Amino acid sequence: MTDTWDKRRFAGKTAIVTGAASGIGAATARRLASEGAALALCDIREQELDSLAEDIAATTGAKPLVRLVDVSDGEALEAFVRDMADALGRLDIMVNNAGIGCFGHVDEISPAQWRQTMAIDLDSVFFGSRAALPFLRQTAGCIVNTASVSGLAGDHGLAAYTAAKAAVINLTRTMALDHGPEGIRINCVCPGGTDTAMMRAHSRDAEIMRETAAAVPMRRLGTPDEIAGGIAFLASSDASYVTGHTLVIDGGVTAQTGQPDFDRLYRERGWDKKMLQRL
């Protein structure tokens, strides 16, 4: 299979990616760099972040700027965005990707867990965007946020996570309305189950991973590269008339109503078309 995208469509562009050390963030950094973007990356995992930067440098010849940043610290995140935009000379693309999971009902999770989830999954989008907007006004740039299909509907046992991701989606839409007149596009991706280190850490065992994949019409988890492809599209000129959009990348999970598999149930019982028409 040959690649069809323009390998230099981000030449002369700059991008910041948060939560870049692994998973979707790392795949996004690699994808943007492979298409010519100069990068600034942040995460809290120093070894993985440095390794990614070295790998990108070896592949593209340009080493990303990196900094250890806890995105739950709004002041630190804003300072990172401002410093990196200055160091890069401009800012064209802001990817608010950092996120964590949180399991538990509302009467099981602690206030500290709730606040941490909101700080990392939601507040970081606010602070990152807030710091990036003055620079994006100068370049007619764009913001891409990583939300989740869990922000589109509820998930058992994920009260804090689903609430945060739903807020990211509506914050994305509202910012698109507010800043569209300034030439700034703002969109988000909503990944379904994706085979990342975070997914494996929260799934704990292979059986949960298998059940997650079995619930997907395509019968597999997504890959970080597949999500990164969606982010790259939204960040590119190919999406020049796309803003306020929620790009779902989930293998068909949200195409379902959640009702039983009537096709399987009817066929198992030998019901023919004539019988079904009489129901």
Active site positions, annotated: 161
The C-alpha atoms of residue 235 and residue 94 are separated, in whole angstroms, by 9
The DSSP-derived string for the chain is: ----S-TTTTTT-EEEEES-SSHHHHHHHHHHHHTT-EEEEEES-HHHHHHHHHHHHHHHS-PPEEEE--TT-HHHHHHHHHHHHHHHS---EEEE-------B-TTTS-HHHHHHHHIIIIIHHHHHHHHHHHHHHHHT-EEEEE--GGGTS--TTBHHHHHHHHHHHHHHHHHHHHHGGGT-EEEEEEE-SB--HHHHHHH-SHHHHHHHHHTSTTSS-B-HHHHHHHHHHHHSGGGTT--S-EEEESTTGGG--S---HHHHHHHTT--HHHHHH-
Pairing of strands 142-146, 185-191: parallel
